[in-house]
Amino acid sequence: MRFFSRTSQIKFLTSLILTLLIIALVASTLGCISLNTDKDNSNYNQDMKKEPPTPEANITFITTGSSFSPIITVTGNPEIKWVFGDGSTSNSASPTVKFGSKETRVNTLVVTPWSAVTKINIGYDGSDGGVTPGPNTIENLEQQNVIAVSGLENVAPYLQVWASSYNPITELDFSNFTALHTIECYYCTSLNTITLHNVPSLKRLCLECCNLSYLDISEAPSLEDLRAAVQQSPTYTINWGNTGANIWHVCIRDNPHMTGTLPYNQLPLLEDFFTWNSNQSGTLHLTSTNLKSVLSSDNNYTAANLSGCFPAGREGTVNMYNNNLTSLDISNNPGLINLNVSQNSLNQTEVDKILQTMDSYNTENGYLDITGNAEPSSKGAAHANNLTARGWKVRSSDQFIKK
């Protein structure tokens, strides 16, 4: 065996230690480089994962017809850009594009600035007491076969009028449409969802003949005109919240599947109350002194209190036939001249009271139908004769009582 000298051993060890230190330093350096590289790569990867820049915001109308002719109303002189499903474009507020065939197409709208848009119309014919002539007039327009709309949030703070009557649209979201005062969705038979979150200016809401199972109007405190009759859904509920202080017209007729009662005490300005065939029961107690018409037949009401609702000169009408009424308070109503409470469960005392009350107003040429209840007594019949002497038509036992 060969032995190194002590000097050689020391030199060897020194060289070995230096080599190891160099290797460790290089490894450490490489490690740092690797860490830094990993960090840089991490940032790079994160950047690569980021979504591409958002394209120009637009409103999208998906249509299925062979043409598309929307109408928008704008203020000022904004830039309008339509891109239709066939690739054609337009800068008109009321463009017309003919596709030549029925097909599902995506049509987009960009208005710069969006704040210029006040009205969007894709269908309207003035049905069901539509908007009267004036600054809020909506142009008559055949439905545009729109099945879906997205991007409406672009005009949420600015849009005042929306009209989509007769379109097969299924869903609408009007969340935070703070300037919106009119919604026309008459006969949108496919519409099953509408969101009305934070709509403080909404006054007219027409949802006649839709497919709603739930309607929330609790965030529409300014609502004046509610038309939500004839829903096709097998269930139907309205959440009123505290809404009602400004309402003059309520029409929820022909909803025999409706659940829940109406907040009668929240309707101080009510003029028209159209609720026939709407599965209502209990006591109908209206307090508005502005009432003109109460049409609530074909329900299950057992009592009604309308005292003081029809002041003199009103020519008011109450139709509550085909209910289960056992009592009816029509006191202090000299302006009530049309009353039909036939086919109820009013006993003779109640029938006599009705005849006496109506006679006491000394009005002329009215109409009263009490058939299908108990027969009046001789006293009741005397009041009936007084009415007929003043030109009233009074029906009892399916016969007109004549003078």
Q: What is the pLDDT of residue 397?
A: 73
> Confidence band (pLDDT; 50, 70, 90) for 7?
very low
Higher pLDDT, 38 or 168: 168
pLDDT classification of 132: cutoffs 50, 70, 90: low
Is the pLDDT assigned to residue 6 strictly greater than 70? no
Domain of residue 75 covers 56-211
Model confidence at 26, pLDDT cuts 50, 70, 90, reads very low
Q: Are 382 and 401 in contact (CB under 8 A)?
A: no
HEC profile for 160-189? CEEECCCCCCCEEECCCCCCCCEEECCCCC
Which burial class, exposed, middle or buried, applies to 85 when counting CB atoms under 10 A from its CB (0-12, 13-18, 19+)?
middle
Residue 139 lies in a domain: yes
pLDDT tens-digit profile of 280-333?
A: 999 999 999 999 999 999 999 999 999 999 999 999 999 999 999 999 999 999
Query: Is the whole-model pTM more than 0.75?
Result: yes
The answer to whether residue 195 scores a pLDDT higher than 50 is yes
Give the 3-state secondary structure of residue 370: coil
Which residue in 164, 172, 245 sits closest to 212, CA to CA?
Answer: 172
Mean pLDDT, rounded, for 204-229: 98
pLDDT reading at 24 higher than 80: no
Domain assignment of residue 387, yes or no: no
Of the pLDDT bands very low, low, confident and very high (cuts 50, 70, 90), residue 208 is very high
Residue 44 in any domain: the answer is no
More confident residue, 393 or 16: 393
Q: Is residue 65 part of a domain?
A: yes
Residue 88 lies in a domain: yes
In a domain, 164, yes or no: yes
User: Among 251, 201, 199, which Cα is nearest to 225's?
Assistant: 251
Phi, psi torsion values for 267, nearest 5 degrees: -120, 65
pLDDT at 80: 98
| Helix (H/G/I), strand (E/B), else coil: 290 | coil
Question: What confidence category does residue 175 fall into, taking pLDDT thresholds of 50, 70 and 90?
Answer: very high
Model confidence over 150-162: pLDDT tens digits?
999 999 999 999 9
Q: How many domains does the chain have?
A: 1
Residue 146 lies in a domain: yes
Is 66 inside any structural domain? yes
Q: Looking at the predicted structure, is the pLDDT value of residue 212 above 50?
A: yes
- What does the pLDDT read at residue 180? 98
Q: 275: closest CA among 318, 338, 242? A: 318
CB-facing half-sphere around the CA of 66: CA atoms within 13 A: 3
What is the pLDDT averaged over residues 108-117? Answer: 98
**pLDDT at residue 402 above 60?**
no
**pLDDT at residue 137, as a whole number:** 87
pLDDT at 25 over 80: no
